[in-house]
Structure 1
Amino acid sequence: MAESAREMAVKARAASRQLQALPSEQRVAILNRIADSLLEHEAAIMAENAQDVEAATGKVSDALLQRLVLKHNKIQQLADGIRAIAKQEEPVGRLLSRLEVAEGLVLDKVTSPIGVLLIIFEARPDALPQIASLAIRSGNGLLLKGGKEATRSNALLHKLIVDAVAEVAPGVGRDLIGLVTSRDEIDELLRLHDVIDLVIPRGSNQLVSYIQQHTKIPVLGHADGICHIYVDAAADMDKARRICVDAKVDYPAACNAVEKILVHESLAGDKLDSLVKALQEAGVTLHGGERAAATLGLPAAPSARHEYSSLDCTLELVSGLDQAIDHIHTHGSGHTESIITEDQAAADDFLRRVDSACVFHNASTRFSDGYRFGLGAEVGISTARIHARGPVGVEGLLTTRYLMRGTGQTVEKDKGVAYTHRQMPLA
């Protein structure tokens, strides 16, 4: 009988405790072996992925199909990201603070794995090795539930990863990372709050919103990726054209692709026309916000808050920085926003006041990514305000513990203890 998700989660926790006990060098060796294995089996991975893509073509949305495809250079990028994770400073058991509570009584605060993670993702087979590597580096157990459209890709990637774990660390074994391939429904997985510590959804806003509303397990992630670019009155229009085109065209289905471009009304005329032309020549279909539809004759956008995930984009006119920021806060999703301007004071004001996970100046929203941020990879991008925000790497998969070392002290209603609460050096 197929192993239940509950049994897999219990085994993953036991294996994660074995993983945490390993020396750092051995966990690093696991990651390097995974990177090597991905490159060694690149042809097989691409072949399995091609079969997934062929089976899904015509049956899923274009945005989902784009996420499913593993492009030629992706395996090398995955391997590079995993090796970058391996090179990071040891994250588990890192001493954060040391306090002398009383004479001879010392309290350490150290980093610690969260426990067992559940990742539910649509398409995106490249997410599987990224998430697995981050979990291994941070000492967490992992349960994976991929979409049926990526069944072949996920199965092979999972096998290569757990084979690498078992080869380098047989004491940890293959149970560290479980791939749920049974007919367990998402609802059943979401009820496992007693054996799963954190769920991270990666997929459509419908999937993420559903998970957020149907589980007691804490959820880390974002439902919408409604990213904005504000083209200020003091913008260099050459930069504005290049950045806006890149932010929309580089990967339209990504959550960090721009969905709405706000333009200062003073640019109406030749400068705005040049931006519109650049976007349209790049294949972008423009829709107008309330003002832009009336002024420029663009078809009306579906709504003031719309995520296209395609080569479509909303253009809107605003009176200035204050209105742009108000618009972002009213209609955005708190993911990534960028200002294009040569006015440093305006840029600083935008960076300070915009309440999103990632806020940029004169840079494409596409930089909002764990690999590009130097994290090696990401388990997802969080728009939550608790625990982790923005691209989530190893640090976002850690919590803290307290370790106390004494010499026989007892509390005795605090009468027998002379508290010093003295900060001590970490070394």
Structure 2
Amino acid sequence: MEIRKIAEAAKKVSYKLTSISTDVKNRTLLKSAELIDAKRDIIKTENEKDLKAAEEKGLSRAMIDRLLLNEKRIKGMINVLHDVAKMEDPVGSVIKMWKRPNGIKIGKMRVPLGVVGIIYESRPNVTVEAASLCIKSSNAIILKGGKEAINSNRILVNILKEAAESEGFPPEAIQFVDTTDRSVVKEMVQLDQFIDVIIPRGGEGLIRFVAENSRIPVIKHYKGVCHVFVDKFADLEKAWNICFNAKVQRPGVCNAMETMLVHSEIADGFMPEMIDRFKKAGVELRGCKRARAYDPEYIKEATEEDWYTEYLDLILAVRIVDSLEEAIEHINTYGSHHSDAIVTENYTNGMKFLNDVDSAAVYINASTRFTDGNVFGLGAEMGISTDKIHVRGPMGLEDLTIPKYIIFGDGQIRE
């Protein structure tokens, strides 16, 4: 597998994609959905190979869950393709136009980024999400999935290419790095003459490696050290439900809660019931001294490292704080600027949290698990950027385009 040839092919076809009609793009997406529906048994068979290999390697339950393509997730991929097809095509839209005193008209028009390289781990449904957004936004895409999902990714790419070819969308615009050799990543991120942007989506180690070695602009999806702060003005029933959902509903994803902060004035009423619910769900708790006092046998002592850790598992760090300000300081110090929530019935405290927490998504009285491009109404997402340049938060369809200045004159020259 020669990554340079893949990148060259993607670059060559990228210049042709802006002339592809919205109708062709939408038909390609809908045909992909049709084929995934028709070939779900083949998809499951290939996915089973990956799941079996993961179990043999002793991967965690949460990691195996990320690999799984069951009926619900296959339906989810089909829904994503339909959702993206329904969305307005951003390519060619004029953001604004103005006229200068000399009569020249200047505008900004949305155009594709060009060639998008996405390097991702575990979740094979990312293949469909990323490709669907790039098809609709007229970008060529190079998909480099993890070795643990090689069979699942391969069948999904083959289906996408089949759909593209049948509907007149260049299949060369959907490139797949069909190898489990990790060394290809280093070579891929050096190909700045062919690839316009790199999006790493996976563990912290992968993102740091890509960021440190890339000659291509990187939109980073760093780890999700997400917090829920239970304020002293919280509704306890809301707080129990939100915290349980944020940790337990799907612990192996980046928007799951990794640290729970509890105001000391509400801790006596909140902690016993919350601990009981977590116990029943098999959640390991690691707490500060005051948190451990509620169940010293069950709650392990938290280390400084725990506050920085993205567990991606049924493990949760817990800290008791004395004020809203202390909670905000903890989040801005230890968090990854991904998604953080406050549970409170106090408007002033909620708005202060919203304004002062430096994260891509900040919630009042809702689970952090909602940080997702499809859930936000973006159709799908390339990832959740924790950067502050180009895009922050779920990277959707419009974020795969950039402005291009367009100028209309009538013979004007500069004096």
Q: State the TM-score, normalizing by the size of structure 2.
A: 0.95
5+ residue gaps, structure 2, are none
Number of the residue aligned with 1:387: 390
Length, aligned pairs only = 408
Alignment of 1:280-299 (within 5 A): 280-293=279-292, 296-297=295-296, 298-299=299-300
Asked if the contact 2:222/2:385 (under 8 Å) is kept, the reply is no
State yes or no: 1:46 paired with 2:44: yes
1:189-338 equivalent positions in 2, closer than 5 A = 189-293=188-292, 296-297=295-296, 298-302=299-303, 303=305, 304-338=307-341
| Deviation, structure 1 residue 290 | 4.8
Contact 2:199 2:221 (C-alpha < 8 Å) held by counterparts? no
Tell me which of 336, 341, 346 is aligned to 1:343.
346
Of 175, 180, 184 in structure 1, the residue corresponding to residue 177 of structure 2 is 180
Tell me what 1:14 maps to. Answer: 12
Q: Check the 8 A contact 2:202/2:221 in 1, yes or no.
A: no
Q: 3-state DSSP class of the match of 1:57?
A: helix
CA distance in 1, matches of 2:123, 2:258: 21
Deviation at 1:188, TM superposition (A): 0.7
SS in 2 for 1:218: coil
Q: Secondary structure of 1:269's match? A: helix
Q: CA deviation at 1:294?
A: 5.5
| Cα RMSD, aligned residues only | 1.5
Contact 2:3-2:184 at 8 Å conserved across structures: no
Distance in 2 between residues matched to 1:138 and 1:318, nearest whole Å: 45
Q: Is the 8 A contact 1:19 1:27 kept in 2?
A: no
Secondary structure of the structure 2 residue equivalent to 1:37: helix
Q: In percent, how many aligned pairs have the same letter?
A: 37
SS at match of 2:17: helix
Equivalent residues of 1:241, 1:279 under 8 A apart? no
Residue 369 of structure 1 aligns with which residue? 372
The question of whether the paired residues in 1 share the 8 Å contact of 2:20 and 2:138 is answered with no
The residue type paired with residue 356 of structure 1 is S
> Whole-Å Cα distance in 2 between the matches of residues 163 and 295 of structure 1?
58
- Helix, strand or coil for the counterpart of 2:308? coil
SS in 2 for 1:117: strand
SS of aligned partner of 2:88: coil
Q: 1:373 Cα shift?
A: 0.6
Alignment of 1:26 with 2:24, yes or no, is yes
- Match of residue 158 from structure 1: 157
Residue in 2 aligned with 1:421? none
CA distance in 2, matches of 1:314, 1:390: 24
Q: Indicate if the aligned counterparts of 1:9 and 1:142 stay in contact, CA closer than 8 A.
A: no
Work out the CA distance in 2 between the residues paired with 1:18 and 1:35.
24
C-alpha distance in 1 between matches for 2:164 and 2:264: 57
State the 1:82 CA deviation: 1.4
What is the correspondence of 1:45-194 to structure 2 with a 5 Å cutoff? 45-59=43-57, 61-62=59-60, 63-169=62-168, 172-182=169-179, 183=181, 185-194=184-193
Counterpart residue type for residue 343 of structure 1: N
Alpha carbons of 1:237 and 1:339: their partners in 2 closer, same or farther (altered >3 Å)?
same
Asked if the contact 1:113–1:398 (Cα under 8 Å) also holds between the matched residues in 2, the reply is yes
Which letter does structure 2 place at the counterpart of 1:301? A
Q: Give the Å deviation of 1:388.
A: 0.6
Residue 15 of structure 1 and its aligned partner are, at CA, apart by: 2.1
> How many Å apart are 1:293 and its aligned residue?
3.5
Shift, 1:100, TM fit = 1.4
Q: What is the CA–CA distance in structure 2 between the aligned matches of 1:86 and 1:271, rounded to whole Å?
A: 45
| TM-superposition CA deviations, 1:100-124 (whole Å, max 9, x none) | 1344421121011101011111121
Contact 1:244–1:279 (CA under 8 A) maintained in structure 2: no
Q: Deviations over 1:172-229 (max 9, x none)?
A: 4221111112446211111111111111111111111111111121111322110000
1:354, 1:124 → 2: CA distance? 29
* Separation in structure 1 between the aligned mates of residue 399 and residue 289 of structure 2, nearest angstrom: 39
Please report how far the alpha carbon of residue 394 of structure 1 lies from its aligned counterpart in structure 2 after TM superposition: 0.6
* Partner deviation per Cα, 1:223-257 (whole Å, 9 max, x = no partner): 21100000000111111111111111111000000
| TM-score, L = length of structure 1 | 0.92
Letter in 2 for 1:54: K
CA pair 105-160 structure 1, distance change in 2 beyond 3 A: same
Q: Point out the more displaced range, 284-293 or 200-209.
A: 284-293
